[in-house]
A = this chain, B = another copy of it.
Amino acid sequence: MRFISRTSSDGVIEQLFTLDGIPGVLWTPEGATGTRPLVLLGHGGGQHKKAPDILALAHRVVAECGFSAVAVDLPGHGDRPVDEELDRIVTENQARVAAGAQLAPLIAEFQALVARRTVPEWRAVLDAVQRTEHVGPGPVGYWGVSLGCGLGVPFVAAEPRVRAAVLGLGGASASAADAARVTVPVEFLLQWDDERVPRAQGLALFDALASSEKTLHANTGGHGEVPAFELDSTLRFFGRHLV
């Protein structure tokens, strides 16, 4: 893990890094020493590690909870090189949908393929970040919606350091088998009028989670219209479960 830059804003230190070619960013409270909870933020499709929603959430996790937060670019996203295999599959899928194929199974197949890379990448990121003195081996949370949910479910299922997760805007066809291995507390966001994830698919993914404590927050509106008050709820959820 190599740190590239260090900047500070409103009490939040932001450090860019690379780890085995993966560009990432670590946020910690200014002056922090010693172990603290860490939240890994999984960005959405077409986004990157410093997309506005990721940046806003990271700053609030650090400033309001005193935790650390980390995000990395997904394969083919942000500062990572174009991924020819993934690009080819996306192009093929677009052609298959144009020819009348169903979108949901293609998305599921694609996310499963990407997850086979991101699960080990994210575990390596946790290893490296938790070796820094100002993060340390504390409890870990995961936040990810949409593609960040599709990749997050297999990650949370595989990684015992994760103690709580906020997921959502994803459907069961992508990850029901992995969901059945998720047992930590989950807050699950669903948009009641989601134009991309059929309502029944979202409800089925929530249902498939094996967690004994799980809460579904369903709001009116489309895929990109999660209300701002859910961010407050996310912070309270991590505050309850990571300390």
Contact A220 B213 (CB under 8 A): yes
Contact A216 B213 (CB under 8 A): no
Contact A219 B214 (CB under 8 A): yes
Contact A211 B220 (CB under 8 A): yes
Interface 1/0s, chain A 226-239, versus B by CB < 8 A? 01010011001000
Q: What are 7 inter-chain pairs, A to B, with CB distance below 8 A?
A: A192-B214, A206-B218, A211-B220, A212-B220, A216-B219, A229-B236, A233-B233
- State in angstroms the CA–CA spacing of A232 and B232 once bound together: 12
Which residue in B192, B215, B240 is a CB contact (below 8 Å) of A219?
B215
Q: Which residues of A are in contact with B by a Cβ distance under 8 Å?
A: 190, 192, 203, 206-207, 211-220, 227, 229, 232-233, 236, 240
Give the residues in chain B near A215, CB-CB below 8 Å: 217-220, 227
Chain B: minimal CB distance from A219 (Å) = 5
Chain B: minimal CB distance from A222 (Å) = 13
- State in angstroms the CA–CA spacing of A232 and B213 once bound together: 17
- State in angstroms the CA–CA spacing of A139 and B160 once bound together: 48
- State in angstroms the CA–CA spacing of A206 and B212 once bound together: 23
Instruction: Determine the residue in chain B with the shortest Cβ distance to A232.
Output: B236
